[in-house]
A = this chain, B = another copy of it.
Amino acid sequence: MNNTKQKIIQHSLVLFNENGISKASLRDIAKQADISVGNLQYHFKKREDIVELLYFELVDKLDNITALKTDDILKSFINIGSESITIFYDYRFFFLDFISIIRQHDKIKNHYSELSKHRKDSFLEMIDMLIDHGLFRKEELKGEYQSVYKRIEVISNFWFSSILIQSKTLSKKAIDDYSLVISQSVYPYLTEEGRVHYKRMFNEQVL
């Protein structure tokens, strides 16, 4: 990608993450990237093109999460979550402005919808494997693990928003907090054997 173009999206990302998309005017971005507004417009015909490009950058990075095939399947299950949220953090503007973006970009909306479906399928597949390995218990309610996924989905999409509501700023600590909350949310579904693994992984103090 062009050097200038690179500079633009790089600085856009910073501005977006800091104060939200709506607070970053084209003039702000141009100034930050140390180029003229005319130049900015030359590279991005429409303002929203920047957002789209950043979104698909995010998607790319998510696609490249390798399952990290450890022999410990529970560990890689948890790892995928951690890696995802780490990428989310880098593009947090997207999640902080989720609704307004979705309302404006049908393309992004549709794409993310599809992406979520895939992620859900992968999740459920992984759960099946974990059940087969005797680490997770079987479903006791109808659609129980779908419901588990739904919860994790909401929490991951809006974790940073949730943090920002209560604290002044957002830091990388939010990533670890997320991992803790998610792993704890999964704990009750573990079998005896699964809990042994869990304990080993987190050195969690089981009461």
Classify chain A: how many residues form its interface, as a range: 35 or more
Secondary structure at chain A's binding surface: helix, strand, loop or mixed? helix
| B contact residues around A116 at 8 Å (CB) | 165-166
Stretch from A48-56, A122-130, A149-157 that touches the partner: A149-157
Q: B98 near A161 (CB under 8 angstroms)? A: yes
Given contacts A158-B158, A166-B113, A184-B147, A204 and B99 within 8 Å (CB-CB): no
- Docked Cα-Cα span, A204 to B141, in Å, equals 7
Q: A207 near B22 (CB under 8 angstroms)? A: no
Q: A109 near B139 (CB under 8 angstroms)? A: no
Stretch from A8-16, A39-47, A67-75, A185-193 that touches the partner: A185-193
Q: B155 near A151 (CB under 8 angstroms)? A: yes
- Docked Cα-Cα span, A189 to B189, in Å, equals 10
Q: A180 near B147 (CB under 8 angstroms)? A: yes
Is the CB of A102 closer than 8 A to any CB of chain B?
A: yes
Looking at the complex, which one of B22, B102, B140, B141 makes contact with A100 (CB distance below 8 Å)?
A: B22
A22 to chain B minimum Cβ distance, whole angstroms, is 7
Contacts from A to B (Cβ < 8 Å): 19-20, 22, 96-100, 102-103, 109, 112-113, 116, 138-142, 144, 147-148, 150-151, 153-155, 157-159, 161-162, 164-166, 180-181, 184-185, 187-189, 204-207
A-B contact pairs, 20 of them (CB 8 A): A20-B103, A97-B100, A98-B161, A99-B165, A100-B100, A102-B164, A109-B165, A116-B165, A116-B166, A138-B207, A140-B206, A147-B180, A147-B181, A148-B184, A148-B185, A151-B185, A157-B161, A157-B165, A158-B161, A158-B162
